[in-house]
Amino acid sequence: MTAKTAAAKTADHHETENPKQDPKDTSNRIKDPKDWTTGSEPMTGAQASYLKTLAEQAKDDDAYDPDLDKAEASQRIDALRKETGKA
């Protein structure tokens, strides 16, 4: 077997194992925020900024809380997106 043939077989093998091409692969499905392993960490700066913007657009001063964790912020962002018609 030549090096070129071996490389082609290796490439074919990797293509069949590519999770982007395998619709049956569910390992990257979106998880519920309450199931996130990092959900209890403080919300990210991007979450804080977006949540603040959505709270202002919804005219809901109580929607933004700087002490939310990642999971809580994500859930609140989802609720505000629906409320403001951005979902």
Burial class (CB in 10 A: 0-12, 13-18, 19+), 76: buried
Residues 26, 39: Cα–Cα separation, whole Å = 20
pLDDT at residue 3 in the model: 61
Q: What phi, psi does 77 have (nearest 5°)?
A: -60, -45
Separation of alpha carbons 6 and 75, rounded Å: 49
**pLDDT per residue over 20-56, tens digit each?**
666 665 665 677 776 767 767 899 999 999 999 999 9
Among candidates 51, 84, 83, 53, which has minimal Cα distance to 68?
A: 51
Percent of all residues in the chain with a pLDDT value above 70, rounded to a whole number = 62
